[in-house]
Structure 1
Amino acid sequence: MYATRDDLNAAFGPDQVERLAARPDVEDDAMTVARALSHADGVIDARLSVRFTLPLPTIPEVLRDIACDIAIARLASDATGLTDDLKRREDQAHASLKAISKGEMNLGLPAVTEGERPQPIVSSTGGKIFTRDQLRGF
């Protein structure tokens, strides 16, 4: 997990987090916050997996901030409270993740080398297994 509810509270204030997480059909807002944080984790993992082995050995502060920005925007959009500032922060978070995945921003963590990435399986049979002559009559 890149960020916690405590991180969200520290970044945006507990009142705002509670207000954005409140849902009329949900008694406890902890599940709503957990879903938003899980969404942020998925977005971050999708971007970082092309460059780093997951899970990361440590979580850099910049990723915690990115996770908070994505999660609070998710909460705000679900509660129809997405302000221009929150949208701008979410857009910047996505731009930062893109830059990290391209190697334009450095997290200070070891990147996956080419030899560690999954490689395609290539084999050679030496000749065609099925030819027209072999399949004639089927």
Structure 2
Amino acid sequence: MKIIYKTEIIPEIEEIIDLYNFSDYFPIADKNDIERIKKMHHNANIVVTAWDNNKLVGLARSISDFCYCCYLSDLCVRDDYKGNGIGKELVNITKTMAGDECKLILQSSPNAIGFYSTIGMEQIDSAFIIKRSH
């Protein structure tokens, strides 16, 4: 398996939703919010994708100021591709694109906390949230 990483494209919405459907990433209700998913990806300033031939197998979506912080909002790998280093490489490419001046911040889903520790990320307790209204 040869995975190709791309930074210059945003996949078609159908490809993104297919990736979400075959991973444990997204809450079920959000998978059907096509307009929100389109905006999420088109408004991001760093999108890194992983491809096995023409199949989208991983995606990292981030927002960055490129000088202080980069919020890695989404990291998603297709379930049957996990364990192959794809998630780690998506994080590495994101960090490279954000630059050495940036710290990388993310909010983990409960089932992925162990993964982030294994790739050298430090867990912090000092985060807060105001949830969206819809």
Structure 2 length normalisation: TM-score?
0.30
Higher relative contact order, structure no. (Cα contacts within 8 Å, ≥ 6 residues apart): 1
* Structure with the larger strand share: 2
